Copies of this chain bind each other. A is one copy, B any other.
Amino acid sequence: MTEPNPPAPRARRRPVTMREVASAAGVSVATVSLVINDKKTARIGEATRQRVWAAIRDLGYRPNAMAKNLVQGDSRFIGLVADAIATTPFAGQIIHGAQDEAWKHGYVLLVANTEGNDDAEAEAIAMMLEHKVRGIVYSTWYHRPIEVPGSLAETDFVLVNCFADAPGVRAVVPDEVSGGRAAAELLLARGHRRIAFVNTTTPSPAREGRLRGHREALAAAGIAFDPALVLDARPDQAGGYAVTGDVLARDVTAVCCHNDRVAMGLYDGLRDRGLRVPGDVAVVGFDNQEVIAAHLRPALSTVALPHYDLGAVGLRVLLGLDDPGDGRVALACPPVERDSVAAPSAARPAAG
The interface of chain A, by Cβ under 8 A from chain B, is: 1-2, 4-7, 9-13, 15, 62-67, 69-70, 75, 84-89, 91-93, 95-96, 99, 103, 105, 108-113, 115, 120, 123, 126-127, 129-132, 153-156, 167-170, 236-238, 241, 261, 264-265, 268, 271, 289-292, 295-297, 308, 316-323
Interchain CA distance A62-B291 in the complex, whole Å: 43
Interchain CA distance A264-B130 in the complex, whole Å: 47
Contact across chains for B112 and A99 when beta carbons are under 8 A apart: yes
Q: Could you say which of B88, B111, B154, B295 contacts A12, with CB atoms under 8 Å apart?
A: B154
Q: Could you say which of B86, B103, B108, B323 contacts A2, with CB atoms under 8 Å apart?
A: B323
Contact status of A168 and B4, CB under 8 A, knowing A86-B89, A295-B237: no
Contact across chains for A153 and B264 when beta carbons are under 8 A apart: no
Of chain B, the residue at the smallest CB distance from A268 is B297
Q: Could you say which of B65, B156, B318 contacts A9, with CB atoms under 8 Å apart?
A: B156
Contact across chains for A297 and B132 when beta carbons are under 8 A apart: no
Contact status of A109 and B108, CB under 8 A, knowing A2-B322, A65-B131, A66-B75: no
Contact across chains for A108 and B89 when beta carbons are under 8 A apart: no
A/B interface sample: 27 pairs, CB < 8 A: A1-B321, A2-B323, A7-B156, A10-B168, A10-B170, A11-B153, A11-B168, A12-B156, A15-B154, A62-B130, A65-B131, A66-B66, A66-B69, A66-B70, A66-B131, A66-B132, A85-B85, A85-B89, A85-B92, A85-B95, A86-B89, A89-B92, A92-B92, A99-B112, A236-B295, A265-B297, A292-B292
Give the residue among A88, A96, A129 with the most B Cβ atoms within 10 A.
A96
List of B residues within 8 angstroms of A110 by Cβ: 108, 110
Interchain CA distance A321-B291 in the complex, whole Å: 37
Give the residue among A84, A170, A291 with the most B Cβ atoms within 10 A.
A291
Contact status of A295 and B130, CB under 8 A, knowing A92-B87, A153-B11, A154-B15: no
